[in-house]
Structure 1
């Protein structure tokens, strides 16, 4: 396993325990040969080597990092403008290097190894003789994961300036006519994570964001699948971009039926000036192969992102159960009200209280004070430290909301520094939610935010931070960049954000950071590198959350999915659902409450006590177990999923029925991921009554489900192997 090189044929075989990725140097061009289930390496690899039709040109060659202008008329992976205005470059192979482990990417988040034996990295060096442009293609293959991680480093090795106009992270050509479907996540605010699946036809299929953030509308992820691929069967090829800004991803099917998939920083409104000796590193694309359906692809992403993308002490720690005051009070609160909610939370077993928006400046609504990170003594007479200490004495940790990337025109900061926002001279400054975006390309802006937050963290016992971003970027320009670099602003903003996040998370490692962008507007691998969980959606309705959490799990681990119980009628859709149903949905993620606990009846408080106690017993499995999606909320009235321990001896099953069905048939739920040779003791929820079922029966026949003629019905089951392999 690792990287096998055949110098006589120019072939490179990247091999993991279950996957092969093969490329070949053809006439100086890196060409794609194969990506799929593991192949034994036989020398020579006859039958796999590429032989293009005579005089067919580059348009028929399946390439690894294609260019435009020399005979390939499909979308290129890169494009460079020379000082004379021409845009023709031709990269040819120069050499290679193999590195044990996986090198970090300067200034960018990336998956990593803890032991160099986990992976091998191949670097292919390409060069354009005329301009001096060099490109290093990086391929990391993990020994025990069906994962290829790709990126590119573009270097100006000439003596004149070059301007990048396109620099994608990865491009894969699938040769031969073949039927494909594309799967991706689409949506909008409050309805993120919708699973979209449709056939690829001749021409282009593209998803992207031009918003300066990965966006609610499209996630930086897509998968190519065979038409017969399901959750449990068939081939799936996943592409996930470790980036938090504007991106593009798409497939192009040519006249011969061959498909080219590419992903990277959005080339729309992008340029990057490279002076001699300078380089540009693309974000990395994490590519996953599965021969056993979308579910296996997802679990590969989950394990990788949970353990080799997320970092810090909370990567492996169980996450606390929290109560957030936002939907309980909005901006209308004082210190005593906050402590009153926390007191109820302490009685119910909750572990963390989070103070959301409204604690700073003169923030009585969302039209002022962003940037003025000074506590509001009208609401908090004793300051943040006082309210935090009062809450700590109750046995709860204290968390705090920030929106550090934004500035309100009605703020002291804006009055002092009106040029600190992203803007273009002479153009209007478009406000969204009465706010503008700080220019994170500027070091003095980042330093101000760091100093403001660090001062609070040094004086207040903050254990958790919710880092919000409530609007997209407009008028994307910087007062500090020269004219020839203005098109670099959007990417430089993301690099500045990453620099600040690295600094602040390293400086305060005891704080659990949660990313938020009006919910899931920036739920991406780039943010997970710094913050191991994300507020998945501002929509807390349990029925809508079935779809949102199901779709998000296509690529992101449950340990990253924030999920809360909120009040009814729901504040986003007005729906009335039972507390038990809301709890079961929220317990399928990082669990918490977002409501006024003081308004609960005694009966509701007892329900919450049971939910909190139950989640403390199961959260290790929920947050770290293998997820199996059993029934899709996008396909019917029912949803179901389950979590299975690595040793397959413990499992949890969740089942949801949205609406009651008259004269319903008998039902059973076929499980997955169990050991067919083990017997399992099955209990419904916290009940002590148990039934014994074999793993084979549970997976082939199914778990019998009792029917209740009731809307918004849910239930969960605990499975424990009676006799383990250790016995």
Structure 2
């Protein structure tokens, strides 16, 4: 296990837990791709590169009369543009003479124990050197003195490989990067389906699966954020792949801004995949001696279906991407006042909600939007993080201490990246927002975006938030971001660097988050962007959980949470019980079903508990008691999807403890059916040799029986019904 180099045939064999990745330096210094898939102990050339004289596939300079060699047909690791390969390149630079042709060749390599961090960027990490091995391959274009360090890390305990690249200008002239993917893989075949997670605000991360076809298919964001519309995840899967069977080759970009994931099938049924920063409206000036570090892509291989893939992502991200005090801690049950009060509250109302929430077993009160400036609506005050004394006359410290005195934690909502035109900050610094001087300033939610490419803007955010967080007992922060970028430009950058603004924004944001999360390690930070608009690995590096969606409807959440679970751990997903009719889709569901769906993530409430009936209060108390008893299992156990809401009228899933001693099974039916059939569900993840007692039906079953024969589901009357059953090994 690790990385070996065969000097005789110039092959690198990378071995992760049960995965092999093999590449070769071909004659002439071309870095080629040979294999990625199930682990092999030793590679002896069974699928050696083959060559043939292909029409209209020209031959690179220097190959003499050999008409069989063309980059147009060669599977490559980090392909250039302009020297016979007509497919999408992994990168492209523009020179001072206007040329965009490059020709990278192998120069040298290093094999390192462990995994170096990426400066200024989020990435997966190791806690001990023997958890991973890293290969750095230096490719050079000797004509223009461009150096590309292509980096691979393989994990000892995971079927995961990470890829990134650093470009460095060692020449005497300026270069401009116009495209930089973080990875490229050229598969030798094209018999795949393409799986992605498209969506929209309040409909995030639905699962899409379509056949791979000749030509180009892609996912991307041009919005300045990873976005609700496309998640930076994609996978190639075999036609027969399902939850428990078949190969998966998955890619996830550790970045929160504009991205492009591209799949191209060429004329010879080879498939090229590359992923990185979106080249749309992007460039980066690389002056002599300068370097550019691209973000990381996590690549996961699975040979036992989607659940196998998800298991790898979940465990890797939970333990080697998320960081800080809360990485391994159980998350508190919270109450958020947003859908209870919106902007209309005062200290008495907040305390009334907090007091009654405490009686119901809730542990954390979160004060959402409206506590600062003159924030009585969403037209004003972003950027002025000063307590509104009309609503909270005694200040934030007083309110937080009153909540804390009830043995509850106190949390606060911020939207630090935004600025309102109606704010003191905007009146003082109108040039601090992202804008183009000659253009009007489009608004979203009546707000503009602060220019985080500027050091003074970043420092202002750090100073304002530090003042609030240092002077009140705050244990949770909800970090929101509610609009995407338009008129992208910076007053602080010269004309030839304007297209760097969006990426420099992300670097500034990551710096802010690094400083604040380091300064306040006792605070649980939750990322939010209109719900799930930045649910990506980059944010998880700083904030170990995300508000999954602004849509709190339990039935909508079936698909949202199911799709999200394809990649992201349960411990990262915020899920709340809200009032009915639901505020987003106006559907009415039972409190029981709302609870079962919300308890399948980081559990909380977002309603006015002072309006609950006695019967509802009793149910809420039972829900919080059940969740406290089982939250370690739900948040950190192994998760198995059993029935997909994308494929029928019901959904089911199960959480299983690592030692397989306990499990929680959830089943939800959507619409009632006339003359309904009897249904059963085959469980997963249990120990087939153990016997399990199901508390709610007071019955024992063997694990092999539950997994191979299945469990009968009772007839559930009415729409939107559910069960949540606890299994314990006897």
TM-score range, shorter chain: over 0.9
Instruction: Tell me the secondary structure at the aligned position of residue 58 of structure 1.
Output: coil
Q: In the alignment, which residue of structure 1 is the partner of 2:596?
A: 584
Match of 1:138 among 151, 156, 173: 151
Number of the residue aligned with 2:347: 335
1:399 paired residue number: 411
2:186 to 173, 179, 196: 173
**Inter-partner Cα distance in structure 2 for 1:191 and 1:46:** 47
Question: How far apart, in 2, do the equivalents of 1:651 and 1:557 lie?
Answer: 17
Alpha-carbon displacement from aligned partner over 1:657-677 (angstroms, at most 9, x marks no partner): 111222222221101111212
Decide which of 337, 340, 343 is 1:325's aligned counterpart: 337
1:649 to 642, 647, 661: 661
1:619 and 1:50 map into 2 onto residues whose CA distance is: 51
| Equivalent runs, 1:192-203 vs 2, <5 Å | 192-203=204-215
Q: Kindly report which structure 2 residues correspond to 1:250-269, keeping only aligned pairs within 5 A, or say none.
A: 250-269=262-281
Structure 2 CA distance, aligned partners of 1:20 and 1:47? 14
Other structure's SS at 1:584 match: helix
Partner-residue secondary structure (3-state), 2:475 = strand
Instruction: Determine the structure 2 residue equivalent to 1:725.
Output: none
What is residue 703 of structure 2 aligned with on the other side? 695
Which residue among 205, 215, 221 is the counterpart of 1:209?
Answer: 221
User: Residue 182 of structure 2 aligns to a residue in which SS?
Assistant: strand
How many residue pairs align between the two structures? 715
For 1:11 and 1:163, the matched residues in 2 are separated by: 32
Which TM-score applies when normalising by structure 1? 0.98
* Partner in structure 1 of residue 77 of structure 2: 64
Once the two structures are overlaid, the 10-residue window that deviates more, 493-502 or 647-656, is 647-656
Would you say 1:529 and 2:530 are equivalent positions?
A: no
Query: Which residue number corresponds to residue 3 of structure 2?
Result: 3
Equivalent-residue separation in structure 2 for 1:17 and 1:711 (angstroms): 45
- After the TM superposition, which residues 278-317 of structure 1 pair with which residues of structure 2 at under 5 Å, given as runs? 278-317=290-329
Structure 1 counterpart of 2:106 = 93
Deviates further, 690-699 or 144-153? 690-699
How far apart are 1:708 and its partner, in Å? 2.2
Aligned: 1:614 with 2:622: no
Partner deviation per Cα, 1:497-544 (whole Å, 9 max, x = no partner): 001100010011110000000001111000000000000100000000
1:545 aligns to what?
Answer: 557
Q: Is the 8 A contact 2:352 2:610 kept in 1?
A: yes
- State the distance in 2 between where 1:111 and 1:546 align: 29
The corresponding residue for 1:476 is 488
The whole-number CA distance in structure 2 between the counterparts of 1:46 and 1:62 is 15
- Of residues 469, 473, 493, the one that matches 2:505 is 493
* Pairing 1:17-416 to 2, within 5 Å after superposition: 17-27=17-27, 28-42=29-43, 45-53=44-52, 54-176=67-189, 178-416=190-428
Question: Which whole-Å CA distance do the structure 1 matches of 2:68 and 2:498 have between them?
Answer: 42
Question: Gapped runs of 5+ residues in structure 2?
Answer: 53-66
Find the partner of 2:607 among 580, 586, 595: 595
| Runs of 4+ displaced beyond 4 Å | none
Aligned counterparts of 1:510 and 1:538: Cα–Cα separation in 2 = 26
- What CA distance in whole angstroms lies between the structure 2 residues aligned with 1:546 and 1:422? 37
CA distance in 1, matches of 2:268, 2:599: 49
Shift of the alpha carbon at 1:614? 0.3
**Cα deviation, residue 651, structure 1:** 1.2
Task: Show CA shifts across 1:599-636 (max 9, x none).
Answer: 00111000000000000011101110111000011111
* C-alpha contact 1:26 1:50 (8 A) present in aligned 2: no
Deviation string, structure 1 residues 83-123 (Cα, Å, up to 9, x no partner): 11111110000111011110000000000000110000000
Point out the more displaced range, 11-20 or 702-711: 702-711
Comparing 51-60 and 243-252, the one that deviates more: 51-60
SS at match of 1:59: coil
* Superposition deviation, residue 51 in structure 1: 3.4
TM-score, with structure 2 as normaliser: 0.97
Q: Is the 8 A contact 1:24 1:50 kept in 2?
A: no
Q: Is the 8 A contact 1:680 1:719 kept in 2?
A: yes
Alignment of 1:615-694 (within 5 A): 615-684=627-696, 690-694=698-702
Q: Secondary structure of 1:194's match?
A: coil
CA contact 1:156–1:279 (8 Å) conserved in 2: yes
Shift of 1:17: 2.6
Structure 2 Cα separation of the partners of residues 385 and 52 of structure 1: 72
RMSD: 0.9
Partner SS, residue 108 of structure 1: coil
For residues 24-75 of structure 1, give each alpha carbon's deviation from its aligned partner in whole angstroms, at most 9, with x where no partner exists: 1112111110000011115xx1323323335240011000001110000000
* SS of the residue 2:695 aligns to: strand
What's the secondary structure of 2:508's corresponding residue? Answer: helix
The equivalent of 2:59 in structure 1 is none
Are 1:716 and 2:717 counterparts? no
How much does 1:681 deviate? Answer: 1.6
**CA shift digits 1:313-370 (9 cap, x unpaired):** 1000000000000000000000000000000011001000000000000000000000
- The Cα of 1:295 is off from its aligned counterpart by 1.0
Contact 2:34 2:75 in 1 (8 A): yes
**Which secondary structure does the structure 2 equivalent of 1:479 belong to?**
coil
Q: Residue 662 of structure 1 contacts residue 709 of structure 1 at CA under 8 Å; is this kept in 2?
A: no
1:612 match: secondary structure: helix
Q: Is the 8 A contact 1:208 1:249 kept in 2?
A: yes
Show CA shifts across 1:268-321 (max 9, x none): 111001111111011000000000001110110000001100000100000000
Q: Secondary structure in 2 aligned to 1:32?
A: strand
Question: Which deviations, in whole Å up to 9, do the C-alpha atoms of 1:361-389 show, x marking residues without a partner?
Answer: 00000000000000000000001111111
Q: Distance in 2 between matches of 1:664 and 1:683?
A: 26
Using the TM superposition, give the Cα deviation of residue 16 of structure 1 relative to its aligned residue in structure 2, in angstroms.
Answer: 2.0
Q: In structure 2, the residue corresponding to 1:550 is in which secondary structure?
A: helix
Quote the Cα distance in structure 2 between the aligned partners of 1:515 and 1:422. Answer: 21
Maintained 8 Å contact 1:24/1:49: no
Q: Given the alignment, which residue of 611, 616, 635 partners 1:604? A: 616
CA contact 2:16–2:161 (8 Å) conserved in 1: no
SS in structure 2 of the partner of residue 313 of structure 1: coil
Tell whether the 8 Å contact from 2:716 to 2:722 is kept in structure 1 after alignment: no
Question: 1:174, 1:203 → 2: CA distance?
Answer: 14
Gaps of 5+ in 1: 723-727
